[in-house]
Structure 1
Amino acid sequence: MRTPRPAAWLGALALAVLLPATTPAVAETSATIMRTIDTDRYDPHRSTARSTAEALFMVGDTQVALDPDLQTVHPLLAKSWTVSDDGKLYTFKLRDDVTFCSGKKFTAKDVKASIDRWLDPATKGVVKNRAGDVKEIRAVDDYTVEYELSQPYSELLFQMTQHFHTIINADQVAALGEDFGVKGFDGTGPYCFESWEPRNELVLKKHEAYKWGPAFYANKGPAKVDKLIWKIIPEDNNRVAGIQANQGDATQYIPYWAVDQLQANPQISVTKAPSYFWTYFVGFKITREIADDIEVRKALNLAVDQKAIAEGPFFGKAEPAYAYIHPDVLDYDKKDINTSLFGYDPEKAKATLDAAGWKMGDDGFRHKNGKKLKLVAYSFTNIWQQIMEAMQGDMRKVGADLEIQVFDATVIWGKLKTQDFDMFTMSYPYVSAGDAMNLYFPSENRPTPNRVNWADDNTDKWLSEGRAALTPEARYEAYAKVQKQVHDAVVWIPLVHEPMFVAAGPRLKPIAAHGIYGAGLYKGLGIELK
């Protein structure tokens, strides 16, 4: 027996028949990106964190963009540029069709205001050296910027591709004050800052007007999804399970043990960045007793099995490192670096220690002049614990005692500013040899990030020459000298060059991974539903 229909229902049906048909609303599309940690603020001038960069690349733009080959610079907010013969004046011609998410028109005044704020001591900006030695930034007219340096900076364009050079809305900075990058960020990127719940989720919405994406994207804009939700999922297992169960749509934070598993799943795509420069190393503080002995440093390098580390903690996905930087990076010295100083040769390590007077004792460790061959290493948690335990075993085999002290991310950066350790762990991104060498080896950068306390007049001179070089050949020659010098001094133990993978779940098309400073999704213009 049929249930009688209520009169109200029949009336509504009759009304629907009489009214003209309407186009149904298009459902909003969204994708969830899973990552491990958050940042303290989304401010390009106050944070160097990868978690800051990966969002700012999406909500903001730089004047120029870096190709996935990590060698080629493309137009972005600047459509063209010229450089003076003396390398001190860059003139950028800007696009005239760009708007911020707020609707404000982008002009040269925004470029000037962004760099001026970065360099203002009141901002307490970070890594200002990546802006070069700025003399003055001038907005010549609405769409012309003159970027004048006190001395040439050969890598300025490469540095300008990084998130530190994101163009900001100075009006919003003035309005929000200390809450800029916390309560809002008005950028020109393909996505707009909608909301942020720290340590939980960041929500970005599509910038409808966006159409100026870099040349290497098939899609120049607008974005293909309406919303991106960045979720903090610290646990490896939960991210892996989440992307397989459609609880998350994309992640670059794939534990190495899960790469093969995800690649074998026909519903999931895993892509690898064509170029990616992120290297793991252990450094010696060479001003400390024992660590100041180059023969000890040579021996301990030879004691460490990089291939086993690449196969073990990295499950065969990383590349063993026998130099401080990747051989494919811009200005790598392919001629003079003695890579035989690095690599597993325990017998040679023992012979080196024997010749240096470090004799094996009854306790299984070496001693010299009444001192035990013991070094204290400060290390991060996570994968570093496995790496350091492997190194500890390797060093024990040649008679060296490695004491590992592990700290979490909230503590270790303060610890690494001290002089209380012999060795330290670090991994870092870079886009060129000069980028890496200028970070870790200028004497003025002691004690951090030059934690090895390297101080050498020639190094400082060559770094200065590389920065001021007016030709690629001159830049290479200067940085090659630095590379040879610091490699010959074996102040690091290079371990592995890390790869970059991006996984897209069942709802998404494959996403081309980008290797820029660890921000694998870059602008997010390649994120698209199937």
Structure 2
Amino acid sequence: MSAQRRHGQRTIATGATAVAVTLLAAGLAGCGSGGGSAADPNGTLVFGISADPAQMVPWTATSTQSIQVLSQIYSPLLNTDAEGVPEAGLAELPKISDDGRTYTFTLRDGVTFSDGSALDSADVKSTYERIMDPASSASSASYFASVAEIKTPDPQTVEVILKQPDASFDSGLTAVNTAIVPSDADPKALETEPIGSGPYQFKSRTPNESITLTRNADYYAGKPGSAKVEFRVIPDEQSMVSSLKTGSVDVAIFDNPVTAKSATSGKTESTTVDSLSYHVLQLRATSPTLKDRNARLAIQCAVSREDVIDSAALGSGKPTGPITSPEFRSDADAQPCPEQDLAKAKDYLAKAGKPDGFELNLMTSQGLYSTAVDEAQNIQAQLGKVGIKVKVEALDSNAYVERWLASDFDAAIAMNGGSSDPNTMYGRYFTKAGSFNKVAGYSSPELDKLFADGIATTDVAARKPIYQEISQQLVDQAAWVWLFTPELYVVADKGVEGLEKRTDASISTLWKASVS
């Protein structure tokens, strides 16, 4: 059975993914400055980002900014179309055996890394085995939980044998976190000198200021539109707005509608895209403060998601449950307290033996995204109404990521990326062997079984009730408090041509863009 036929059976998704389809179909993917502007083949496209992209090895990347940069340097085995469905990339879509356990990939001919070496099946095998090695602490290790063996019968063929069928397996192979690196590359060296097969090659980095990339003239998918791409670090939103208006930045992505509007001028234009990402109050059930389920439920019931959206995100977002995947989306109201219920929160506090509340340390970031501190302060005020005294600790982006990866927190405000497949979203968080289970702080034998059942069949109808049950268990246990899915705003200079504005503001196809 081929992956092409299997994915071809999907219905067209509505909601977030439909936005990307509509934008592309309407011809808004390319925007030009007035009539007759011509792309400059020697131009530099400047992309504004809000935090320093410090993670340069693909399987370690967790921050949006690092993933944005790495998506230009590295290539995963498979890409995604505008609907988030896997499509051919470095390899054709796999041939899948009738028992669903063997995936055979045929690599493209002639693909090379930026150091000039050929990309072959040995590089794919080496990359995946490094990710699977517990010593790598790879963020994407859970994507390979079903893998039993990887074979390379010839330089252009990779065979992956699974322990059991895994409906989400090919979805994980589209992520930057599984991008292919040379088999002989030293991961330590990659931190300062990335070697990939993506549309751009690493040239230079000035920490906390910029990263400059140059065109990979041998990129397998075509000639990148700009000779150079510079990712410029501008933490202050108003400075980013000014940079767009003066033309020193060509493209930036905002989650604040007011800021995006202020960045729009006769020189720039803003496009709104929906998102599979979600904002969440992460509660670590393994921390002494939150080990009692009733204490976590008290927090859930004391929080008004609408209030967070209105005050912190300025109304730009929709309340969400755990799963944002369009075909498996959670019912946002299917939880113990779909609306704020202070009386119920106090009942849960009493059941937890803390009728007067308790102290909670809440970690948030400065720079990773603009609403993080405001969300933390809003949560602080709301929980104070039931006696939960919140101490907010606002950290710079790198310190936040380090603490998060080390599971060194009780609660954290976070924005996590979504996926078209719910197992790709949550298997790494809420299964006992998941890459980020220590960070998530919650798992159970029931969830482990449900996640295993969820990938055992490719039939969407059969998978839906399984993920509904997973979603229900997560909110009933108050593993986290899911807040909202944001709207994102892509603001670009009108002289930028060929810019595809995709769901979640993905920039995986930024290489098609050029400046005039």
TM range, smaller chain: 0.7 to 0.9
- What is the aligned partner in structure 2 of residue 271 from structure 1? 271
Mapped partners of 1:161, 1:417: distance in 2: 22
2:16: which partner in 1? none
Match of 1:236 in 2: 237
CA pair 49-508 structure 1, distance change in 2 beyond 3 A: same
Q: Does 1:38 align with 2:44?
A: no
Residues 137-152 of structure 1 mapped to structure 2, 5 A cutoff: 137-152=150-165
Whether contact under 8 Å (2:44, 2:226) holds in the other structure is yes
TM-score, length basis structure 1 = 0.79
- What is the rounded CA distance, in whole Å, between the counterparts of 2:123 and 2:417 in structure 1? 28
Match of residue 209, structure 2, among 200, 204, 222: 200
Q: 1:441 aligns with which of 430, 438, 457?
A: 430
Q: What is the distance in 2 between the residues matched to 1:357 and 1:378?
A: 18
Whole-Å separation in 2 of the counterparts to 1:452 and 1:59 = 29
State the partner residue of 1:9: none
* Cα distance in 1, alignment partners of residues 208 and 405 from structure 2: 26
Match of 1:302 in 2: 301
1:442-521 maps to which residues of 2 (within 5 A)? 442-445=431-434, 449-451=437-439, 453-509=441-497, 511-515=499-503, 520-521=506-507
Residue 183 (structure 1) aligns with: 193
1:339 aligns with 2:334: yes
| CA–CA distance in structure 2, aligned partners of residues 400 and 460 of structure 1 | 32
| Alignment-derived partner of residue 83 in structure 1 | 96
Change (3 A) 1:131 1:237: same
Q: Is the 8 A contact 1:306 1:495 kept in 2?
A: yes
Contact 1:37/1:199 (CA < 8 Å) preserved in 2?
yes
CA contact 2:283–2:440 (8 Å) conserved in 1: yes
Check whether the contact 2:109–2:156 (CA below 8 A) recurs between aligned residues.
Answer: yes
**Could you tell me which residue of structure 1 aligns to residue 417 of structure 2?**
429
The runs of 5 or more residues in structure 2 that have no matched partner are 1-39
- AA in 2 matched with 1:40: A
| SS in structure 1 of the partner of residue 510 of structure 2 | coil
Quote the RMSD (CA, aligned, Å). Answer: 3.1
Larger Rg over CA atoms? 1
Instruction: Tell me what 2:279 maps to.
Output: 280
| CA shift for structure 1 position 291 | 4.3
Q: Is the 8 A contact 1:41 1:182 kept in 2?
A: no
Q: Per the alignment, do residues 310 and 99 of structure 1 end up closer, same or farther by CA in structure 2, a change over 3 Å counting?
A: same
Aligned to 2:21: none
In the alignment, what sits opposite 1:329?
326
Q: Distance in 2 between matches of 1:223 and 1:203?
A: 15
Q: In the aligned structure 2, how far is the partner of 1:30 from the partner of 1:204?
A: 9
Letter in 2 for 1:492: W
Question: CA deviation digits over 1:380-418, x for unaligned, max 9?
Answer: 133333222222322333454434344444444565578
Instruction: Indicate conservation of the 8 Å contact 1:282/1:493, yes or no.
Output: yes
The CA distance in 2 between the partners of 1:289 and 1:27, in whole Å, is 58
**Maintained 8 Å contact 1:240/1:254:** no
Superposed CA deviations along residues 448-490 of structure 1, whole A, max 9, x for unmatched, are: 5455643422111111222333543443333222112222223
Contact 1:333 1:480 in 2 (8 A): yes
131-140 or 293-302: bigger deviation: 293-302
Q: Deviations over 1:171-205 (max 9, x none)?
A: 4x15xx622241242x2222222223333222211
Aligned partners of 1:384, 1:416: CA distance in 2, in Å? 14
Determine if contact 1:236/1:254 at 8 Å carries over to the other structure. no
Distance 1:30 1:290 in 2: 50
Paired residue type of 1:190: P
Measure the CA separation in 1 of the matches of 2:107 and 2:418: 27
**AA in 2 matched with 1:182:** T
Structure 1: segments with no counterpart, 5+ residues: 1-25, 213-220, 359-366
CA distance in 2 between counterparts of 1:124 and 1:490 reads 27
User: 2-side partners of 1:473 and 1:453: how far apart?
Assistant: 30
Residue 141 of structure 1 deviates from its aligned partner by: 2.2
